[in-house]
Amino acid sequence: MRKFHYLLGLAVSAVFVFLFLRNIHPQELFQALAEADYWYVIPLFFANVLALFFRSFRWKYLLSPIKKIPLLSLLPAAFIGFMANIILPARFGELVRAYIIGKKEKISKSSSFATIIVERLFDGFIVILLFSLTLLFFPYVKMGHEGLSLKGIRVGGYLFMFFCSSLLFFLIILKIKTVSINNILKKILSPLPSSVIEKIIKMITSFSEGLSILNNYKEIGIVMLSSLVIWSIYVLVTYILFSAFNLQLPLMAAVFIQAVLALGVALPSAPAYVGTFHLACALGLMALGIPSQYAQSYAIILWFIDIFPAILLGLIYLWSEGLNLKKIKVESSALD
C-alpha cells in the first residue's frame, strides 16, 4: 500500500511539474527571479523557524495527557519528524516523529501517533477558517484560463471540511467507545490467531489514549491558540514575500494563497511537495492577476523558504542525537 502511495505521489507530482513548467519562458522567469529583493528571505527563513518551534510547543500540549515532556526534550523528535515529512514520501515523517518520541520517552508510539492525527485535525480546521475568509475575497479574484475555477475551489473546500468533520467524529467515537469498538473487532477478527487480535486491540487502545486531549478544554484552547499563531506566521511570511517581488497585493491575498496551498500539498506528491506546491501557489497568484513569470518565481522562492528551515534543523538534530534516518524509517514502520 505504501509503495502504491509513493508511486501515486510521483505520478501526481510529474503531472503538476509538467503543468507548472508548460508555459514557462526561461528568460522571463530568470528575469523575475533576478529582480526579487532577497534581503526578505533571511528574516522569513527565521519566521518559519519560529513557526516550527510553535508547532513543537503545540505538540507538547497534545502529548501532555500521556506524559509531561519538556519542550527541549521534544525538539529532536519534532524537528527530525518535520524534516522526514519533507524528504520521505507518503508523509512518512509523521510515523518517524511518533517513533522517536515514543522510544525516547518510553511512551506508546501508537498514542503519540494519535496526537499527530489530532494535530493535523486542528490544522485542518484552521484551513477551513482560511477558506471562510477567502470567500470574502473571491469577488477580487480573476477567474480565467490562467486562473483558478471558483467552483473548483469551493468544491475542494467543502470536501476538505467534510473530511475534517468526519475525522473528528470518528476520533470522538473511538475515544468514547473504545471498549465497544474493541469488542466488535474481536468478533470480526475471530478467525485470526489470538496473538494477532491482541496486538491489534492493544494498538487501538494505545491510539485511543493519545486522544485524551479531546477531554480537556483548557488544553484544546492552548492547542487552538497555538494553531492560530502558526498559521498567522505562514500567512505573514506569504504576505511579506509579496514585497520581495514588488507585488501590490493585500493581506487577504496571502490568506487566499495559503488556503490554495493547503489544498495543493494535501494531494499525494513526491517528497518536498514538488509540483503540487509550485503549481498551487502559481495558479493562486495568477488568479489574482499576477503575470505567470512572477507567480512562478514567487512559488519557487516561497517553497524554498518553507522547506529549507525544517530540513536544515532536522539534519542538525539527526546529527546531534546520533540517529540514522534509514534505520528509523525501517523501525517506525510498525507502531506498538
Please state, in angstroms and as integers, the Cα–Cα distance from residue 41 to each residue in 81, 117, 167, 244, following that order: 24, 31, 36, 8
Report the half-sphere exposure of 70 (CA within 13 A, side-chain side). 2
Instruction: Tell me the C-alpha distance between 40 and 287, whole Å.
Output: 24
Instruction: Tell me the C-alpha distance between 68 and 59, whole Å.
Output: 11
Residue 53 pLDDT:
97
DSSP, collapsed to helix, strand or coil, labels residue 15 as: helix
Residue 145 pLDDT:
41
Instruction: Tell me the C-alpha distance between 20 and 277, whole Å.
Output: 10
65-91 residues labelled b (16+ CB within 10 A) or e (exposed): bbeebeeeebbbbbbbbbbbbbbbbbb
Residue 229 pLDDT:
97
Q: Cα angle at 209 between 205 and 213, to 5 degrees?
A: 155
Residue 313 pLDDT:
97
Residue segments in the chain with a per-residue pLDDT below the cut of 70: 1-2, 135-154, 156-157, 210, 333-336
Residue 175 pLDDT:
76
Amino acid occupying residue 220: I
Sequence-ordered list of residues with C-beta below 8 angstroms from that of 304, at least 6 positions apart, any chain: 41
In this structure, the dihedral spanned by the alpha carbons of residues 56, 166, 10 and 143, taken in order and rounded to 10 degrees, is -100
Q: Cα angle at 268 between 267 and 274, to 5 degrees?
A: 90
Query: Mean pLDDT across the chain, nearest whole number?
Result: 86
